[in-house]
Structure formats: C-alpha cells, structure tokens
Structure 1
Amino acid sequence: MSAESFLKDFHHVATIGATANHGVDRQAATAEDARTRAWFAGFAADRGWEVRVDGIGNMFALLTWRPGAPFVLIGSHLDSQPLGGRFDGAYGVIAALHAAQRVDRRILESGMLPPFNLAVVNWFNEEGGRFAPSIMGSSVFAGLMDQEKMLDVADLQGTTVRQALEGIGYLGTDERPEPVSYAEIHIEQGRILEREGLRLGAVESSWYTQKLDIEVLGEQSHTGATAMADRHDALVAASKVVLMVHDVTKDFEEEALVSSVGQLTLEPNSPIVVARRVHLVADLRSGSPEIVQAARDKLLKDIAALAKEHDIRINVRDFDIRPVQHFPEAGIELTEKVAANLGLGVRRIRTMAGHDSVAMNRIVPALMMFIPSVDGVSHCEREFSTDADMVAGVDALTEVALELVNGALAASGRKD
C-alpha cells in the first residue's frame, strides 16, 4: 500500500498496449483493453473483493463492509485514444484501487464500520475513439443514454459494441451497485496547475459541449476524365467545412471557444475517384452555452451557403450535446480541506474536457480532482505527469474516499 507499490502497478499497466513513443493504444473492447480489464479483476480478486461487470461493460470492484448499504464509487477508465497517453483515465483507476486498499485497511484497524460501502469502477468507452459517443459506460449507468442503443453502436469497421464486448468476454449481466456519491481523480489535460506550481485542482464545473454530425454529399466521378467545372467534389467542400469549424473561434474572445474536426471518413476513398460522400464530426466547447449556440448558428448559415455554391447537399445534425455541470460546493470544499491537511497546494478549476464524473454528477453528488499535466499535453503519446504528483493524488483520493464512506456529501442527496 506504499507509494512504490502504486507506481509499480501504474507503470506495469502502461506496458499493456504500449506504443513506441511511450504512449498506449487500448481502445475500448479491444484485446489490449481486455488485458487491462484482466489486470483490474486480478487486483480485486487477490484482495477478496467482489468483481461485477454490467450490461455495458462497466467493471466494479466492491468492498462491502455493510451488506445492503449503498456504495461510494471511485474510479475512471482504462481505455485510451488511438496512440494515446498512458495517464489519461488509467491513472484514476489505479489510484482508486490503491486508495480503496488503504481505506479498507484503516477501517479494519479502527474497528468502526462506515455507513457506506466502497466500489472502484472502470467505466467502459470513456474515450469514444472507437465507438461514439464518448463517456458511454457512465452515461448508461446514469440513465443518460439507452443501453440497447449504445450496444448497437458500430465502429468504422461495422463491429457493434455488443459484438466487441462479447468478443473479449466483458458483456456482463451483473447488478449495478447502488451509488450514493462519486469521486474521480484525473490528469488536468491543461497547463494551469503546472504554471501555478500547484499539486491539486478542485473541479467546480464543466464546459458546454456541442457536436455537429456533418454529411457532405457530392457525386462520384473520374478524377482524370471529369472536367473541373462538372465536378461535385464532396471532399473539397468538406475541407472548407473543416476550416470553417476552425475559424469560427476567431469570432469570439481568445480562448472563449475551442473547436475541431477530429474524425473524417470519405467514400469511396479511391485515388482516382472524386469523393461522393464525406462524414465528419465537429466539436464546439465553451464555458458559455450562448457562445456555443452562436458558433453553431454561424456554422449552419455558412455551411448552407457552401452547399449552394458547390451545388451539393450537406446534412448537419446536432449530436452529443452536454450542458454545463456544476459540482457540489461541499465536494469542492472537501477537496480543499484534504489538500490543506496534506499540505498540497490547491485551486478551483473548470474542466474543458468531458469526464465520467460529469455524467455521474447528474445522479449523485460527484467530486473531481486534477493533478498537473506537464505542458498541458493529452490524447497523445507525449502526455506526462510526474510520479510525485501522481502519488500526492493517491494520498488525496484516499482521504476523500474515507470521508465519503463516512457520510461526506451524502447529505447533498441524489441530484435531479
């Protein structure tokens, strides 16, 4: 239960699906994901903890001191982006396992049973790199997404979530633990904590997220034999849409809005055929829903004009809209208290990225903490957090979990 044992486990898990440049590639429900799941199950089994897998592939390691009582959930996710970093998500799960072990020991030593049990969770498909949308497992758990619809979601090769989970042996049927509160620790994926020399961030709210599912429909033709004036090139129009999504941020104050197109597929994807169809997803995020709405409206207007100019059809559909979530003040104050007791510098912070905690915050009081990210880099192999910062985070999560199983945040009640 020492810092050394945590670091040993963390760096071992980082070898599963390791890439040449010190990252990992463990996309949801792949063979590499299955290996980390087996490690998670083994860690729990070695300590006599019950392991459950639910109908969307979420894994739970249960520490039951008081049968029949609800559970405090702590954890994150073990899946990664393609060629992703080894810290995003995995740190939070491994930290939670070690924090749970420490809490268990302290409870047994004290002889005082807490009112609530504890469960460590590995959420399915938080990243959304293989199956869209992201934050899938926790959203199904929270009732924000329909399980059957999510099981039918297919990747670019046509494999469904159901088939993929069955293929690795993790399409479960176990009962989900009843939650009373939730806590997650994660890398910041930004530069604020590093710049200010602080060890811990107390997340107070999330940004508003709006995605646009965009389908550009042109006409397939020969790249060599078709006159330029006669072409209806979906890829040319789509490339202009990509630039529109990028440039719309310039209409607002600096850093008030971020945007991107991270995925693009085209048909028939032949070097001698003008593209007939391009599908892409635009991602708009801001702390202000009004800014996102204004950016969306401008994009819809500009895309309509582009379709007319190129004499093609462009279909745009709203997709994966996530409102601003405010975390309970009591949880933020608990993080600040724990940080003070441990001598860790802390500040309140917002998350621009989505996390499982945002979904869980819809149904129970949730608490989220950040540790620093070197250079603010994430979703790539260069992602990095120091051993010292990770260890400090495990210490903080341990104290938070101990407070939660003893009733902290429970008075906040279930959220609407």
Structure 2
Amino acid sequence: MSTAAFLNDFHHVATIGATTNNGVDRQAATADDARTRDWFANVVSHAGWDLHVDGIGNMFGLLEWTPGAPFIMIGSHLDSQPLGGRFDGAYGVIAAVHAARTIDAEVAESGAIPRFNLAVVNWFNEEGGRFAPSVMGSSVFAGLFDREQMLDVTDLQGISVREALAGIGYLGTDTGPAVAGYAEIHIEQGRILERESITIGLVDSSWYTQKLDIEVLGEQSHTGATAMADRHDALVAASKIILMVHDVTDDFAEEALVSSVGQLTLEPNSPIVVARRVHLVADLRSADPEIVKAARETLLRNIDALARTHDILVNVTDFDIRPIRRFPEAGIDLAARVADSIGLSSRRIQTMAGHDSVAMNTMVPSIMLFIPSVDGISHCEREFSTEADMVSGLEMLTAVARELVVGALTPMTGTATVITAGEPAVEALAAAGGSAIGGAS
C-alpha cells in the first residue's frame, strides 16, 4: 500500500472544483462533478478493471477474479455541497480505490482467489444539494427509490436529473453488479472521535430523520406604496417559521434534537415587491423517533396559528422520512476485531447524517466506518481531517475489505444472500430465507 500515492490522489481530486478557501464545489451532474467522474473512470481503466455506469449515474469499478461470483462493494461519493469540504465523500471513494489496488495485488501475488469479487463505487448525488432527495443513487440501487421518478427530479433551474446526467455523458445503461456486502469509510462530521482521541468510529445505527416541505403563500404588493396593515408578506411569515424550527429544539434535552432550514426560495425576489411565495425545507433529526414526531406536531400547531395571524396560507408536506437503521452486529464486531488487530483505537458511534451505507444496509450486510473530523465541522470549506487519520482509515478499510471478500460476514454453509441492483431489499431477503435490516428509506 502506497500512502504517498493515496495522498497524492486525494489532493489532486481536491483541485477539481476547488474554491478559494480550500473547499470544493462539485454539485451532482455539474461540469466539475463530470471531471471527478472522468478521473474515476481513468483510474478504473488504468487499473485494468471494468467500468459500469448504471441508469442513475452510479459508477462501478469491477475487479472480477471469479466470473459469475457476486461483489463486495466499497466506496462513497464524489459530489459535494455548494462551497463544501474536500473530505466528505471523496475521501471514501479514493480510499476504496487504493484499498482495491492493494487487495488486487495481493490476489495476483498469492494466486488465492477470494470467495467474492470486489467493486469500487462512486454513488450519484449523495449530497442532495442540487437534486433532492439526498442519497439518491444508492437508494435507487437498493430499490428504495424509483429510478424513473428520480430521473424526473429537477433542480431550481428546472433541469432534470435525466437531462443533467445525459449532458455530462454519465446516464448509463448498465444494471450494476450483484452484491453480497458493502463497506464505506467516511469522515465523522462530528466531534466525538476527536474529543475522545479515538481513530475509528464503528457506526452501529443512524438517526431518525424527517423533512418538512413548507410553502408560504402571501400576496405580492408594492414595498413602497402598500400600507403595512394591508400587506400579506410571505417572507415575514417564513422568517418566523424558520425561528420556530430552530427554537423547537429547546423543548427537549440538549442535543436530543437537531433542526434547521437549509434551503429557501422566494418569489418574485424583487427589491421592490413584497414576497408572495416562499418555499423552504425544514430538517428534523433525533436518535428517538418520538422526539421528532413531537417536534413536528408542535411546528404544525404553531405554523397554523401563524397563518391565521398573518392571514396567509401555509402548506406543509411531510417528505424524506428515514427511520433508524441498525447495522448488523456481526459487521460491527468484525470491524472492532480488525481495528484491534492493526493497532487502531475504535468505539461504537451513531451517525446523525445520512450516508450511502445506510441505504445499502437495507440490501446487504454493511459496515460503516468513521475517521475524526477536526472541530466536528463539515459541509463547509473549513472541513478537515488529518493525513495521519486518513491513512489509518485507509488501512482500516483495506483490512475490512480483505475480510469481506473471503466471506467473513457470510456463512460458508448454505447459499449466500446476493441481491441485484434495484431489487427491493425486503422481498429479496425474504426470498433468500433471511430478514431485512430496517424498513423503507
């Protein structure tokens, strides 16, 4: 394993879509996202692996040692938030590339063929910054989202996913490989590992997530000529709703609930016109679903009262509700043993953020790993992880993938549960005589 080559690749990819403050801006299916995809395609080609691109833009580098055998998949995503960080997602893809190179060389040298093949993946639109919902590509692959519906999703300029992917040349036709397991390494995006001086986080579950699509409808009027008493200002009402979303966290124990409004658009967005329409998205997350549900009820009640007071209409719609996902104990135990064997400290940890591994975990046994984030900062240009932690994470992912390809999470007796892309997890596992991990995303 060449740590220098890994770090060189990481720093090279960070130049694609680079911002002036050491971040990146590579939103899904933009020109800069296409440049990172070209980089990934070239890496796969030069390594002698097969490249497949499916119908939602997911990219797979396939190391097929045994024709017909299913794949262990490792990877993450290369797209970013607007003015995002260099590490989120890209670190996991680049680490997966180098882990696969190491294992491929070991297989060639030893002549021992693993039970499973290996695939490196770059998932489409994990971030959801340009196209909502997030975790799109892996959720389509896992059968949680309908591909045609996702292809019809549009950005704020009215460009569809289908048009955007076709425009950059990455609307593929492959179906994606049959998969038997998944592993992903990612930055924590929180401060627990750094605070406790722990190198590896072993993710055991995800938080419950609920979004609210809120449309505030007032009346357009002149900012100068209309009397204050005659105005129905959608933006004033929306601003109060934003504060409601923030303040509802005070109803619960500290850090038991997190909330935000991250996107807001208004019409007609003229300096001389009172806003007639504001659209915003509220995000509620907690480890306890009942807390999220209670916060939602409080918001609905307060928003209804606000609408009556301001004599405007507010439409609130639930969407993108994601239940708690629990990762398999066997995978957590395996990862803990691997960390101990290579001398890395580790602890169990929850993920408050969504990840492709959470979607994949509904499909096949999955392992999610974290490395520390400096100051717990993410989704901004100041996002940072040290090179030492990045290299330790690469070593960890390589060792975990090495175990997975020989069948460490799949019993040697009986038939392995292998699921093809887009097959609903519950139905597929039931057909194989197993049980699904979690419900629909």
2:254 is aligned with 1:251: no
2:4 is aligned with 1:4: yes
Distance 2:2 2:276 in 1: 58
> For structure 1, which runs of at least 5 residues remain unmatched after alignment?
none
2:334 is aligned to: 334
Distance 1:108 1:350 in 2: 37
Q: Residues 309-328 of structure 1: matches in 2 within 5 Å?
A: 309-328=309-328
Distance 2:107 2:354 in 1: 33
Q: Residues 212-291 of structure 1: matches in 2 within 5 Å?
A: 212-291=212-291
Read off the aligned partner of 1:202 and give its amino acid letter.
L
1:175 is aligned to: 175
Q: Residues 30-69 of structure 1: matches in 2 within 5 Å?
A: 30-69=30-69
Q: Please state whether the residue corresponding to 2:201 is helix, strand or coil.
A: strand
Distance 2:297 2:408 in 1: 43
Q: Please state whether the residue corresponding to 1:264 is helix, strand or coil.
A: strand
Question: Displacement of 1:175 after TM fit?
Answer: 2.2
2:115 is aligned to: 115
Read off the aligned partner of 2:90 and give its amino acid letter.
A
2:425 is aligned to: none
Distance 2:325 2:399 in 1: 24
Read off the aligned partner of 1:398 and give its amino acid letter.
T
2:398 is aligned to: 398
> Please, what TM-score do these two structures have when normalized by structure 2?
0.93
Distance 2:9 2:410 in 1: 31
Q: Please state whether the residue corresponding to 1:118 is helix, strand or coil.
A: strand
Distance 1:225 1:410 in 2: 72
Distance 1:101 1:75 in 2: 13
Distance 1:69 1:15 in 2: 37
Distance 1:17 1:225 in 2: 45
Question: Displacement of 1:335 after TM fit?
Answer: 1.0
1:380 is aligned to: 380
Question: Displacement of 1:112 after TM fit?
Answer: 1.1
2:357 is aligned with 1:357: yes
Q: Please state whether the residue corresponding to 1:262 is helix, strand or coil.
A: strand
Question: Displacement of 1:106 after TM fit?
Answer: 1.2
1:94 is aligned to: 94
1:164 is aligned to: 164
Question: Displacement of 1:410 after TM fit?
Answer: 2.2
Higher mean alpha-carbon deviation, 133-142 vs 109-118, is at: 109-118
2:302 is aligned to: 302
Question: Displacement of 1:271 after TM fit?
Answer: 0.3
Read off the aligned partner of 1:408 and give its amino acid letter.
A
Read off the aligned partner of 1:92 and give its amino acid letter.
G
Q: Residues 363-374 of structure 1: matches in 2 within 5 Å?
A: 363-374=363-374
Deviations 1:319-371 (A, max 9, x none): 10000000000110111111101100100000000000000001111100000
Q: Please state whether the residue corresponding to 1:381 is helix, strand or coil.
A: coil
> For structure 2, which runs of at least 5 residues remain unmatched after alignment?
418-428, 430-434, 437-441
Question: Displacement of 1:408 after TM fit?
Answer: 1.6
Q: Please state whether the residue corresponding to 1:67 is helix, strand or coil.
A: coil
Distance 1:408 1:32 in 2: 38
Distance 1:409 1:322 in 2: 26
- Percent of aligned pairs with the same residue? 75
Q: Residues 136-147 of structure 1: matches in 2 within 5 Å?
A: 136-147=136-147
Q: Please state whether the residue corresponding to 1:410 is helix, strand or coil.
A: coil
Read off the aligned partner of 1:225 and give its amino acid letter.
A
> Please, what TM-score do these two structures have when normalized by structure 1?
0.99
Distance 1:408 1:12 in 2: 34
Deviations 1:264-316 (A, max 9, x none): 00000000101000000000000000000000011000001100110000000
Q: Please state whether the residue corresponding to 1:292 is helix, strand or coil.
A: helix
Question: Displacement of 1:107 after TM fit?
Answer: 1.5
Read off the aligned partner of 1:214 and give its amino acid letter.
I
Q: Please state whether the residue corresponding to 2:316 is helix, strand or coil.
A: strand
Distance 1:95 1:334 in 2: 19
Distance 2:9 2:176 in 1: 26
Read off the aligned partner of 1:383 and give its amino acid letter.
E
Read off the aligned partner of 1:278 and give its amino acid letter.
V
Distance 1:75 1:221 in 2: 51
Question: Displacement of 1:56 after TM fit?
Answer: 0.2
Across the two proteins, how many residue pairs are aligned to each other?
416
1:344 is aligned to: 344
User: After the TM superposition, which parts of structure 1 deviate over 6 Å for at least 4 consecutive aligned residues?
Assistant: none
1:106 is aligned to: 106
Q: Please state whether the residue corresponding to 1:335 is helix, strand or coil.
A: helix
Distance 2:381 2:320 in 1: 26
Read off the aligned partner of 2:119 and give its amino acid letter.
A
1:201 is aligned to: 201
2:29 is aligned to: 29
Distance 1:103 1:327 in 2: 25
Distance 1:257 1:179 in 2: 35
Distance 2:314 2:179 in 1: 43
Distance 1:227 1:261 in 2: 30
Question: Displacement of 1:139 after TM fit?
Answer: 0.4
Distance 2:100 2:328 in 1: 22
Question: Displacement of 1:6 after TM fit?
Answer: 0.3
Distance 2:86 2:203 in 1: 22
Read off the aligned partner of 2:12 and give its amino acid letter.
H
Distance 2:29 2:247 in 1: 35
Distance 1:181 1:302 in 2: 45
